Chains A and B, each alone.
Chain A
């Protein structure tokens, strides 16, 4: 099955990811790979139409950035990129609101399931339950 996050889409996607989860700005190569692989795995089981919609929406956001600011998403500064996303997230069109919600959910899936990230949050749930706590 073809990847959704193709090499042509990746710069825009990573730029979006840093707006959704600012910590990804400091992600190393292994963390980006883990993030993108998790997303690809999740999308692999979804209908092809949904996969196409996600890729299309990333491109739409990139085109909007170019038209509005004269820069691609990847070249846009973080402040204006976030403002652009917030406009789409507050759109009167459900399709745009859903698009932002879906993309941010995918990025969070790829980030907040990484063991090092979970550990850094201080989340410590384990099968041992109370016995593991002092």
Chain B
């Protein structure tokens, strides 16, 4: 067992870990060693092939097939230098004021989250895409939404030199997306932060970590690990956990630290989502251009958000309900498909939580509440209206029976699409916004961490990822994760300054 010592050990290199690494990098010049431990590999530019089978296996945990305990929802999260910022679409929204206020975390204000978010908006080149670069999948959404009475808004995106590959969720093949793998981590490394990839943290102890560094598999993508493969003990003055909701919480649960706050694992939310497609009578540009440029926010009124999207053939096939000839006829219409992602704004409830199995692996318990199902049904009806208003000749709606609605049936949207047809185990539901498990709050009685990410009762141990969210965010979480991680780093600097 090798032993390494450092001032700060950061576990994870995504939106949280990458931000903390960069913010703490100036400490290195003061003689303080900062380590980042990333479970996944450091991918090379040539590794991003854009091939679905190739990339899903390399980037996503369990090849993108991680299921909730009852097997009714797939949870997508990436592992690699940059974490899930490798695979998001770069949509960059600041947390709404009402959400941060609703969290009621003493010492956390929306003003502070907003200020820090804007710092990263500037750093990540967040901007609105030029209209002439939008594809028809997005334009039809805007036109259809306007005609159906919805207000479509354009997503600010963190891109630099986007060529419109449409392959964001498989890792940008053109290094255009400004994730932590492109911005914060390289900045941190230039200032002397050490990033160790293929380094899985097995357990966290009192100011120490047990780490296993694995070699690059013979047929694997990415670089060799920076350290020699083997077991390590890392002794650190401060430890920052930023492995994401399904990294940080399971790590704490399997580590066996005494007197942990009892609410670890509670408050899991994830914005359950599924896709809908509308078929047009002519081919549209859908597999070129940025896939997710617009959204309709109905979170307050109806508990859902609609986003444009365009997925790859297998993911599309998986997400269409059913099988056989009707399913295959939609797949053959691929060049004519318009696609919308519907996301429900779920709320933290006691049943929805993260635990671990006997091997310490994460287990996610999730129950679809009536409220979430109603939100998804309302979202499906809205999407159907948008598709038909945009000129679609038929729409695939998972919570309709049968799931195909033809244009001449558009008057039956409210009756055909109904909550009684929303059957788990039949509809493909996926979530990629994994939040909660180490929620912030006042004390160990109501939460796991404080407003600066400190674990109650253990000031040397902090959390800096979406685990901190006491409840759902209702938007893409990465910018808020960065803002909170920035706060965590500030707290660490103050601690180390004594």
User: Chain A interface (Cβ within 8 Å of chain B)?
Assistant: 19-23, 38, 41-42, 45-46, 82, 85, 89-90, 94, 97-98, 101-102, 104-105, 108-109, 111-113, 117-118, 121-133
Contact = CB atoms under 8 A, between A and B. Distances in A.
Interface in B23-78: 48, 50, 52-53, 57, 62-63, 65, 70-72
A22 B324 contact: yes
Given A94-B72, A94-B425, A117 B163 contact: no
A81 B313 CA distance: 25
Interface string B61-103: 0110100001110000000000000000000000000000000
Nearest to B54: A113
B325 interface: yes
Contact of B166 (A23, A82, A102, A129): A129
28 contacts: A19-B323, A20-B323, A21-B328, A23-B328, A42-B57, A42-B63, A46-B65, A82-B324, A89-B323, A90-B423, A94-B70, A97-B425, A98-B425, A105-B318, A108-B314, A109-B314, A109-B318, A112-B331, A121-B334, A125-B165, A125-B166, A125-B288, A126-B50, A128-B163, A129-B164, A129-B174, A129-B288, A133-B288
A80 to B, nearest CB: 13
Nearest to A99: B425
A127 B314 contact: no
A117 B51 CA distance: 13
Nearest to B359: A47
A108 to B, nearest CB: 4
Contacts of A133: 285, 288
Contacts of A128: 163, 165
A42 B331 contact: no
A22 B288 contact: no
Contacts of B149: none
A20 B324 contact: yes
B283 A101 contact: no
B375 to A, nearest CB: 21
B11 to A, nearest CB: 23
B324 to A, nearest CB: 6
